[in-house]
A and B are shown apart, each in its own frame.
Chain A
């Protein structure tokens, strides 16, 4: 039987368990929040813009991630209660499907963030031609391409996950995209800084340095949250592939569920960073809840 048999040595790294209540609460909160964002964008015609479509794409991928975790938990509970056999063919296919859903969520998140960053970049640096460059139709085409690619690669990765050839590109893609997004935002940031310089060069300028800190804080929060939530899991994949028997790696892999919970926390934080900062979206929410009462 393929049970990993940690020795009963007291120096074992036992699996760190996250209570299921926490798990389900976090997952449910993530799903609900992103669903709200989707509904708000669909209902309000003013929000039918490329920028909001990209934010919706991010919301969908976050929802998929949380959904995966929820389904997995339910699945495990059903297994424990005996409704599902542990080695059936159906379960294996289901497991594959869920794995690919999760990878789809990760890839979708990365590409959605990239699309949002590129959209903001075009907004700032090609502002006057923005409407010609980023038409609604083009945005939808871009999203279709992104999601087709993500779906294809997620199925491929789930099927061939045992080969190093899939693990390595997957783990290289992650920091590469992060780096690219960081470059885009730093470029935009530099423009803000040059603007601050110009304000400062005006006579009797009393610009505070502290006001510029807010942009730095925002950017750090955005990228820091994404890194802190996804990097642990990516490292887990790497270690599981390359050093599963090493005790250090095994100890890292014992916090797998904490990593999973972090990914679901990302699903909760992302709407706050992106969607809820838009006044239009917030007013749509207020209208939705006021009408419900």
Chain B
């Protein structure tokens, strides 16, 4: 802004100084500024501003890392049983028979559907596991095998937040014919979505 162009004083000798001009219309004048009698250091605003900014950013970082801590165990017990059910319904997509899937699908609220995105890993791994181990009896084994791997893949999970390729993720041939309401009500779409999840998950996690 023209009002902001600081006119360098005559002591700036560098030929490459790039503030060395005036404009005719100055909204206000930078009169002579006296630097006498300063109580604090003259760059105190600069220092204070940058220190404040750094403190704020670090504070924000600590708040975010605090948010990532998984809370006290007693908080988890209350919801863990119910959530574990839901979790298992996603995770054990292929291990369980279809009927139990239907039961869980009706309980699924819309917000928990977003867990699908983060269950990409689990479903993908389970699909691989499923191809090698058929049968629901080995489900607990699958959990054992998958969870350590999923912890390593969680980095990509959170990276998904920032490099979300979600249009590729939900856009498959199977889904395209389903309307919005269908996805919320019926359960076959869950399996379809899981398949689409797996198909696209490779793209996302690459």
- Show the binding face of A for B, using Cβ within 8 Å: 1-9, 11-15, 17-20, 23, 49-51, 72-73, 76-77, 79-80, 86-87, 91-92, 95-96, 99, 102, 120, 123-132, 158, 161-162, 182, 186, 188-193, 195-209, 211-220, 222-224, 227-228, 231-232, 235-237, 239-240, 244-257, 273, 277-280
Contact = CB atoms under 8 A, between A and B. Distances in A.
Contacts of A199: 147, 150-151, 154
Contact of A191 (B12, B31, B46, B114): B114
Contacts of A196: 68, 70, 154
Nearest to B65: A216
B6, B43, B170 — most chain A CB neighbours (10 Å): B6
Contacts of A193: 67-68, 70
A131 B87 CA distance: 25
Interface residues of B, number: 96
Contacts of A102: 1
Contact of B147 (A127, A186, A207, A216): A207
B147 A8 contact: no
B60 A223 contact: yes
Contact of B35 (A7, A23, A218, A255): A7
Given A203-B147, A216-B68, A251 B43 contact: yes
Contacts of A280: 165, 168, 203
Interface of B: 1-4, 6-9, 11-12, 14, 16-36, 38, 40, 42-46, 49, 53, 56-57, 60-61, 64-65, 67-71, 76, 80, 83-84, 87, 91, 110-111, 113-118, 140, 143-144, 147-148, 150-152, 154-155, 157-159, 161-171, 180, 183-184, 193, 203, 206
Contact of A256 (B19, B22, B83, B116): B19
Contact of B114 (A1, A99, A127, A231): A127
Main secondary structure of the interface of B (DSSP, over half): helix
Contact of B56 (A19, A87, A227): A227
Contact of B57 (A92, A126, A227): A227
Contact of A211 (B19, B26, B69, B158): B158
A76 B18 contact: yes
A91 B115 CA distance: 57
